[in-house]
Structures are given as C-alpha cells and as structure tokens.
Amino acid sequence: MAIPENVRKNWIEIQKKFEFPVNAIGVKIETKDSKTLQVWKSEGIDQYQKN
C-alpha cells in the first residue's frame, strides 16, 4: 500500500528531527506496531532517521 507523495515528503521532513521511528505526525512508533513500522521501512523513511 503506497502512501501519497505529499504525505511521504512531509513524513521524511518530520523523521529528520528524531533519533527514533515516528509516524507521519511525529508520534513515536512503538515496537509492537509492526504494521506502521513495516510501512516506515518500505517507504524508505528509515533512511532519514536522525543519527
């Protein structure tokens, strides 16, 4: 399931500010939320995580 490009771009900008996985509104993704983490990785948002 692909997410809209504008949501993806916004999510990337938000993720750049955090050292842990966050959803598209900036809330931490819990490890038990495997569906959101799967989308987070499949959309490549994980590459923008702050180090």
Number of domains composing the chain? 1
pLDDT of residue 1: 60
Using one digit for the tens of pLDDT, what is the confidence trace for 26-43? 999 999 999 999 999 999
Q: Residue 42: inside a domain, yes or no?
A: yes
Domain span holding position 30:
23-51
> H-helix or E-strand containing 13?
helix 5-15
**CA angle 21–35–25, rounded 5-degree value:** 45
pLDDT of residue 34: 96
d(CA 20, CA 27): 10
State both tokens at 14: 């938000």
Q: Residue 14: inside a domain, yes or no?
A: no
Determine what percent of the chain is predicted with pLDDT higher than 70: 98
Q: Label residue 2 by pLDDT band (50, 70, 90).
A: confident
Q: Residue 48: inside a domain, yes or no?
A: yes
Contacts of 12-16 with CB under 8 Å at 24 or more apart are: 12/45, 12/48, 15/45, 15/48, 15/49, 15/50, 16/48, 16/49, 16/50
Q: Residue 4: inside a domain, yes or no?
A: no
